[in-house]
Structure 1
């Protein structure tokens, strides 16, 4: 389920090979005095009965690679990338991408600072 600023994905584990999980991804824009606009993410949930919480931030110009970061964080807590919270429903991913674009007031073709890629863990 997607709503602006929040994506919820879950699975009851009823399909063979797909673990039981419930993951919430919340995000908002924060202004850092040194770095400028940053997209802050907070992920919470349970994967196979184990609760987790994690947070990370992406620079404005690298924020559109959010799915990679979300997948990496989910994997760190035990969810295989094939079952990740974003990739399972492309329509909701598109809605999230558009919401982030609107929140950041970004337009296609803006340059990316390669130093930000290193700072953001890519």
Structure 2
């Protein structure tokens, strides 16, 4: 479920070997160490274990939030081969919201040092 500044992703464990999760990703425009960017807070549960972690991404990498969110989810117990699934429409809405919040335009450059 998406609303501006928030994405909620949940999947119940349907079988004994399944991994269930209930994750909220909140985000807002913020000043990062590299200039304007986004501040993200991830909180929720993975297999019944609570977690809360925040991260910042500079403007030119803000669209790459799913990679960092996946890394954090794995750190807190989500198996690497398990995807955090949200409706494609929700991801599209979140990308558009981030683009608007950071006044990003198609063709904006990425700093080479951020690609290392």
Q: In 2 relative to 1, CA 82–62 (structure 1 residues): closer, same or farther, beyond 3 Å?
A: same
Match of 2:91 among 90, 93, 98: 93
The number of residues matched between the two structures is 116
CA displacement at 1:116 relative to structure 2: 2.8
Q: In 2 relative to 1, CA 18–114 (structure 1 residues): closer, same or farther, beyond 3 Å?
A: farther
Distance 2:53 2:83 in 1: 15
Distance 1:45 1:23 in 2: 4
1:38-61 CA-partner distances (Å, limit 9, x unpaired): 210000001111110111100001
Matches within 5 A, 1:9-20: 9-14=9-14, 18-20=18-20
**Residue aligned with 1:100, SS:** helix
Structure 1 unmatched ranges of 5 or more: none
Runs of 4+ deviating beyond 2 Å = 15-18, 80-85
Q: In 2 relative to 1, CA 112–50 (structure 1 residues): closer, same or farther, beyond 3 Å?
A: same
**Residue aligned with 1:62, SS:** helix
Q: Structure 1-normalised TM-score?
A: 0.84
Matches within 5 A, 1:24-63: 24-32=24-32, 35-63=34-62
Query: Which residue matches 1:115?
Result: 113
Structure 2 unmatched ranges of 5 or more: none
Q: CA RMSD in A?
A: 1.8
Query: Which residue matches 1:66?
Result: 65
1:60-91 CA-partner distances (Å, limit 9, x unpaired): 01111111111111111111345443x44211
